[in-house]
Chains A and B, each alone.
Chain A
Amino acid sequence: MMVWLILLPLLWASLAFMLGPSRGVWPAIAGLVAQLWLAFALAAEIVGSGAAMHAVGGWGAPLGIDLVADGLSAAMLLLTQCIALPLAVYAHAYFKRDDPARNYFWPLVGFLLAGLNALFLSADLFNIYVTLELLGLAAVGLVAAGGGAQQIAAALRYLFATLVGSGAYLLGVALIYGTYGTVSTVTLVSLIGADAPDLVWIAGGLMVLGLMLKTALFPFHFWLPPAHGGAPAPVSALLSAVVVKASFYLILRLWVGPFSSLTVVASLVVWFPALLGTLAVFWGSYQAIRAERLKMLIAYSTVAQLGYLFLIFPLLASAGALQAGIMQVFAHGLAKAAMFAAAGTLIKATGQEMVAGLAGVAERLPVTLFAFGLAGITLMGLPPSAGFLAKWQLIELALSQQQWVIAFVVLVGGLLAAVYVFSVLRQAFLLAPADSVVTPVSRTLEWTAFVLAAASVLLGLRGVELMQLVGVT
């Protein structure tokens, strides 16, 4: 089951590549449906009988490759497939026949998803490096695929960031391997103790920093807004919703896994990600409020929302912190995919990239605006939505550990999100100017965004199963 989650996207990506430019939609969608089913089946199995392990080809570590899935990885796999399928349907309707961005879209998305799924299932620091590179290169390819000068520039910046990030990570892995002679995350947990040599500290620092760069945590976020804001809408959605979460997932894995004894010794170090996260919330929101282009606003919102994820690090002593983090990952993932998809539709229909050009869309494109609004509710953390549950969990954890600052940041962050979300909605509710033209768009575009947004809201009414899944170790 786990192997197929990696093989399937590789298969349909290769098939799409062989079929030639801009072909391969239907194998991709069929593959994604199967992947979604596999992810659900895996999650159900893990809830039923605990974490699962699979030795590829019958050869276990250290000779072969082990695939390991616990609640955390199953949840991430599930989220990835849940977002990828609607976005694939959306992308099929989004690209025009002659759009150059469509040429290699399907193979690149396939490789991207294979990289992601492999990353979530790996239990070995070096394999993780390989998946990171696959993921990064496919993502850069997708950003560059449109071929405009701005997109190429953004893609190059992104390429630089992702290469430096994975370079730092690889260096860290090499140092760890030099010290302990293994790269298995399971073995390392017991090897790295509180008395670890300085070299391990440096390795850990390099790995975490490299991954923070890839997650676009403030102040390493410089590459994200142009890349996510400039890419075609389905690509922006995929990158913002899941790709940046992959490196966050790794930081979390390392933090509670191999490096857990280090973080216990240096208790102050937990405040480093939280501090950057706080700054990210404020800076990202501030830039989103100031943004004049719709997609830039959404991209900066991603910078802000990623900040919340790093607020959980000082709270990890409580069991609930991991759950709160994953709830936020789900909330933001679904909502941001919906929001970028809705923005793509709005821009396509009005021909306007600016927020100011949106007057009257509430009347002309109600479904899309509704999707945007529902996604906005999740980002603001208003009930009923997954974002609200994440916020509730975070605030309650912060209060129970007397970390007032974190509760404050979460609350103010929600209000700042309201400022930028409603700056769009206010414009949309204005009456349309007489000369505005709205070209009709396909219903598929409208409703896929809506489905994603509705999912982000409905999860807020029933989070029990997800929390149960995440709790399985």
Chain B
Amino acid sequence: MTFNELLPLAVLASSLIPGLLIFTLPESWVGLRTTLNLSGALVKLALVLLLIVGVQAGESYGVHFAVLPGLNLAFKADALGLLFITLSAVLWLFTTLYAIGYLEGAPRRSRFFGFFSLCVTATMGIAMAANLFTFFVFYELLTLATFPLVVHRGTEASIRGGMTYLTYTLIGGAVLLTGIVWLHHLLGHTDFAHAGIAAALGSAYDGQLQIIFLLLMIGVGVKAAIVPLHGWLPQAMVAPAPVSALLHAVAVVKAGAFGIVRIVYEVYGIEFAQSLDLLLPLAIFAAVTIVWGSFRALFQDDLKKRLAYSTVSQVSYIVLGITLFGPIGTVGGLVHLVHQGLMKVTLFFCAGNYAETLGIHKVSEMNGAGRRMPLTSIAFTIGALGMIGVPLTAGAVSKAWLIDGASAAGMDWAIWVLWTSSLLNAVYFLPILWRTWFKPIPKAWPAEHIVARGWRETAWLLLLPPMVTAAMTLAAGMFPNNQISPLSWAKLIAEREYVHESIIWTP
């Protein structure tokens, strides 16, 4: 086995092996567990870095195993996959750090971190899958590995949230499987390839391909929380904060959005999908989701629920970008895959900090929180402004490209959708900021667990991750054309996808 075959497997193993080892550790072995967690995350980052350097130099990484005659478990690390891998690997490191701080002294930690590592392994598998079969294997593995995390607290409410999650995802999985097997039956394989594989079938199969597309979109749309398949996401916010971060930013909804990207670009091919009239209906669903999610967020007093509806809305920015036929929209959608992850993980970290430190769960309890917890609140403010799309944040970059993409594609209504959503985002985020910074501190916090010591408003492991991700949000917004920015990478992918058109380099 050569180095280029081994590297994708090593990326999987760097979280799988620590995860399996952690399962066997006794509860009290905190040191070894932490070491395993962090060394796994760091090794993974190093491996991902190797991949990035290699892919930029034009190397190709891939390996496959026969599972059944004619059916392969196949992996590849290409530019698109690496976008997702890098996001997940970076955020996994910070989410792990955060989770170590968040769960300090809590019971059942070996189980938690074991499944946590399995989740990231599944995400890596999704990102590196080289065919729909492999994609499905890891997509379902992700469902199974997140269930114990969602129900981690073991209360009736968390079990209910977990069961709702399962109901949606398992039914979605069955629909997805139908589509995949059907396609496999027609084509004899489901390998991802630039410009798609479905067009090879010829026009006699157009009708079937349209139905298959619908099945596939329902399947991945559940995890991407496209309305009306989004019902599980607000329910699942009963999970502990690091799990919410995982669901909303690192793994689950991203897996859905990433699935849509792969299917549209590399199974159908964007030009063939356009010729089958598949993009416009998807764009309409994305638009409805964007507005509906933002609208529902207005009425949530529970902070995490408000953030959850915000996710529903923001993930469909990605979908909308993909359906805007043209390279600029593609760049906008892909870059938002990363940007949304950075911003949303920051917001959930902060929400967890408010809850863990002061017992604040509701927006109405946030008066004066900024003066008690300034660093957390600065991070929260950056995340929230990014969601609105204020200049100098990552959100502004995504929005600019999306709007340009919409006008280049001649879909002016999409611009209105984006502006409406930004307005709604402002309406539900700015009052929170107002309360945080400008309202007086209440006499007593709902439940103060961690007392401030000097400048340290809370445990440092809770403080560090949101500050770093908030800084990354700013960096991605201020230096979008830097060589290592998500935007540059998204442009690279779009260039390879649209072979016939050149990309306009500044929006």
Instruction: State how many angstroms separate the Cβ of B455 from the closest Cβ of chain A.
Output: 37
Does chain B have a CB within 8 A of A409? no
Does chain B have a CB within 8 A of A18? no
Does chain A have a CB within 8 A of B408? no
Q: In the bound complex, do residue A382 and residue B144 qualify as a contact, i.e. CB atoms below 8 Å apart?
A: yes
Instruction: State how many angstroms separate the Cβ of B383 from the closest Cβ of chain A.
Output: 31
Q: In the bound complex, do residue A411 and residue B174 qualify as a contact, i.e. CB atoms below 8 Å apart?
A: yes
Does chain B have a CB within 8 A of A463? yes
Nearest A residue to B174, CB-CB: A411
Q: In the bound complex, do residue A426 and residue B163 qualify as a contact, i.e. CB atoms below 8 Å apart?
A: yes
Does chain A have a CB within 8 A of B368? no
Nearest A residue to B178, CB-CB: A411
The distance in angstroms between the C-alpha atoms of A429 and B66, with both chains bound, is 36
Q: In the bound complex, do residue B185 and residue A426 qualify as a contact, i.e. CB atoms below 8 Å apart?
A: no
Name the A residues within 8 Å of B73 (CB-CB): 461
Most chain B CB atoms below 10 A, which of A363, A383, A392: A383
The distance in angstroms between the C-alpha atoms of A392 and B177, with both chains bound, is 8
Chain B window 52-71, contacts with chain A (Cβ cutoff 8 Å), 1 for yes, 0 for no: 00000000000001111101
Does chain A have a CB within 8 A of B108? yes
Q: In the bound complex, do residue B174 and residue A415 qualify as a contact, i.e. CB atoms below 8 Å apart?
A: yes
Known: A426-B151, A464-B69, A467-B68. A382 touches B181 (CB 8 A): no
Known: A389-B67, A426-B151, A461-B67. A418 touches B170 (CB 8 A): yes
Does chain B have a CB within 8 A of A95? no
Nearest B residue to A431, CB-CB: B154
Task: In the complex, identify which listed stretch (A9-17, A146-154, A168-176, A393-401) lies at the interface while the others stay far away.
Answer: A393-401
The distance in angstroms between the C-alpha atoms of A384 and B163, with both chains bound, is 21
Q: In the bound complex, do residue B151 and residue A429 qualify as a contact, i.e. CB atoms below 8 Å apart?
A: yes
Does chain A have a CB within 8 A of B82? no
Most chain A CB atoms below 10 A, which of B137, B141, B155: B137
Does chain A have a CB within 8 A of B304? no
Q: In the bound complex, do residue B178 and residue A396 qualify as a contact, i.e. CB atoms below 8 Å apart?
A: no
Does chain A have a CB within 8 A of B182? yes
Name the B residues within 8 Å of A380 (CB-CB): 170
- Give the contacting residue for A429; candidates B69, B148, B171, B184; CB below 8 A: B148
Does chain A have a CB within 8 A of B389? no
- Give the contacting residue for B136; candidates A383, A395, A414, A467; CB below 8 A: A383
The distance in angstroms between the C-alpha atoms of A82 and B441, with both chains bound, is 67
Does chain A have a CB within 8 A of B234? no
Instruction: State how many angstroms separate the Cβ of B216 from the closest Cβ of chain A.
Output: 15
Does chain B have a CB within 8 A of A462? yes
Name the B residues within 8 Å of A399 (CB-CB): 181-182, 185
Does chain A have a CB within 8 A of B404? no
Does chain A have a CB within 8 A of B162? yes
Name the B residues within 8 Å of A383 (CB-CB): 136-137, 140-141
For window 174-227 of B, CB contacts with A under 8 Å fall at: 174, 177-178, 181-182, 184-185
Known: A399-B181, A426-B151. A389 touches B140 (CB 8 A): no
Instruction: State how many angstroms separate the Cβ of B144 from the closest Cβ of chain A.
Output: 7
Does chain A have a CB within 8 A of B491? no
Q: In the bound complex, do residue A389 and residue B68 qualify as a contact, i.e. CB atoms below 8 Å apart?
A: yes
Q: In the bound complex, do residue A430 and residue B159 qualify as a contact, i.e. CB atoms below 8 Å apart?
A: yes
Name the A residues within 8 Å of B163 (CB-CB): 422, 426
The distance in angstroms between the C-alpha atoms of A417 and B69, with both chains bound, is 27
The distance in angstroms between the C-alpha atoms of A418 and B143, with both chains bound, is 13
- Main SS of chain B's interface residues? helix
The distance in angstroms between the C-alpha atoms of A464 and B71, with both chains bound, is 9
Q: In the bound complex, do residue A462 and residue B111 qualify as a contact, i.e. CB atoms below 8 Å apart?
A: no
The distance in angstroms between the C-alpha atoms of A400 and B181, with both chains bound, is 10
Does chain B have a CB within 8 A of A69? no
Chain B window 118-150, contacts with chain A (Cβ cutoff 8 Å), 1 for yes, 0 for no: 000000000000000100110011011001100
Nearest B residue to A430, CB-CB: B154
Chain B: residues with Cβ within 8 Å of the partner, total of 38
- Main SS of chain A's interface residues? helix
Chain A window 355-388, contacts with chain B (Cβ cutoff 8 Å), 1 for yes, 0 for no: 0000010110010001000000100101110001
- Give the contacting residue for A415; candidates B23, B69, B154, B171; CB below 8 A: B171
For window 415-473 of A, CB contacts with B under 8 Å fall at: 415, 418, 422, 425-426, 429-431, 460-464, 467-468
Does chain A have a CB within 8 A of B166? yes
Name the A residues within 8 Å of B184 (CB-CB): 396
Name the B residues within 8 Å of A389 (CB-CB): 67-68
Chain B window 246-278, contacts with chain A (Cβ cutoff 8 Å), 1 for yes, 0 for no: 000000000000000000000000000000000
Does chain A have a CB within 8 A of B156? yes
Q: In the bound complex, do residue A407 and residue B178 qualify as a contact, i.e. CB atoms below 8 Å apart?
A: yes
Name the B residues within 8 Å of A395 (CB-CB): 177-178, 181
Name the B residues within 8 Å of A400 (CB-CB): 185
Known: A363-B108, A366-B111, A384-B137. A422 touches B67 (CB 8 A): no
The distance in angstroms between the C-alpha atoms of A377 and B147, with both chains bound, is 13
Name the B residues within 8 Å of A426 (CB-CB): 151, 159, 162-163
Name the A residues within 8 Å of B182 (CB-CB): 399
Known: A418-B166, A463-B67, A464-B68. A429 touches B159 (CB 8 A): yes
Q: In the bound complex, do residue B159 and residue A393 qualify as a contact, i.e. CB atoms below 8 Å apart?
A: no
The distance in angstroms between the C-alpha atoms of A429 and B154, with both chains bound, is 6
Nearest B residue to A382, CB-CB: B140
The distance in angstroms between the C-alpha atoms of A426 and B166, with both chains bound, is 11
Q: In the bound complex, do residue A414 and residue B174 qualify as a contact, i.e. CB atoms below 8 Å apart?
A: yes
Q: In the bound complex, do residue B181 and residue A396 qualify as a contact, i.e. CB atoms below 8 Å apart?
A: yes
Known: A363-B108, A422-B163. A462 touches B181 (CB 8 A): no
Name the A residues within 8 Å of B173 (CB-CB): 382
Most chain B CB atoms below 10 A, which of A382, A411, A461: A382
Nearest B residue to A411, CB-CB: B174
The distance in angstroms between the C-alpha atoms of A399 and B174, with both chains bound, is 15
Instruction: State how many angstroms separate the Cβ of B421 from the closest Cβ of chain A.
Output: 34
Name the B residues within 8 Å of A430 (CB-CB): 154-156, 159
The distance in angstroms between the C-alpha atoms of A360 and B148, with both chains bound, is 13
Instruction: State how many angstroms separate the Cβ of A308 from the closest Cβ of chain B.
Output: 15
The distance in angstroms between the C-alpha atoms of A418 and B177, with both chains bound, is 15
Name the B residues within 8 Å of A461 (CB-CB): 65, 67, 73
The distance in angstroms between the C-alpha atoms of A422 and B162, with both chains bound, is 10
For window 459-483 of B, CB contacts with A under 8 Å fall at: none
Name the B residues within 8 Å of A377 (CB-CB): 144
Q: In the bound complex, do residue B185 and residue A396 qualify as a contact, i.e. CB atoms below 8 Å apart?
A: yes
The distance in angstroms between the C-alpha atoms of A391 and B140, with both chains bound, is 14
Name the B residues within 8 Å of A362 (CB-CB): 111, 148, 154
Name the A residues within 8 Å of B107 (CB-CB): 363
Name the B residues within 8 Å of A384 (CB-CB): 137, 141
Name the A residues within 8 Å of B171 (CB-CB): 415
Instruction: State how many angstroms separate the Cβ of B94 from the closest Cβ of chain A.
Output: 27
Name the A residues within 8 Å of B154 (CB-CB): 360, 362-363, 429-431
Nearest B residue to A360, CB-CB: B154
The distance in angstroms between the C-alpha atoms of A461 and B67, with both chains bound, is 6
Q: In the bound complex, do residue B67 and residue A462 qualify as a contact, i.e. CB atoms below 8 Å apart?
A: yes
The distance in angstroms between the C-alpha atoms of A418 and B170, with both chains bound, is 8
For window 20-47 of B, CB contacts with A under 8 Å fall at: 23
Name the B residues within 8 Å of A468 (CB-CB): 69
The distance in angstroms between the C-alpha atoms of A377 and B170, with both chains bound, is 12
Name the B residues within 8 Å of A407 (CB-CB): 178, 181
Listed by A's residue number, 26 A-B pairs whose Cβ atoms lie within 8 Å are: A362-B148, A366-B111, A370-B23, A382-B140, A382-B144, A383-B140, A384-B141, A388-B137, A389-B68, A392-B133, A395-B181, A396-B184, A399-B182, A399-B185, A407-B178, A407-B181, A411-B178, A418-B170, A426-B163, A429-B154, A430-B155, A460-B67, A461-B67, A463-B67, A467-B68, A468-B69
20 more CB-based (< 8 A) A-B contacts, given A395-B181, A422-B163: A363-B108, A363-B111, A366-B23, A382-B140, A382-B144, A383-B136, A384-B141, A389-B68, A395-B177, A396-B181, A396-B184, A400-B185, A411-B174, A422-B166, A426-B151, A429-B154, A460-B67, A463-B67, A463-B68, A467-B68
Across the A-B interface, give the 4 residue pairs with the lowest CB-CB distance, nearest first: A431-B154, A383-B137, A395-B181, A399-B185
Residues on A close to B: CB < 8 A?
Answer: 360, 362-363, 366, 370, 377, 380, 382-384, 388-389, 391-393, 395-396, 399-400, 407, 411-412, 414-415, 418, 422, 425-426, 429-431, 460-464, 467-468
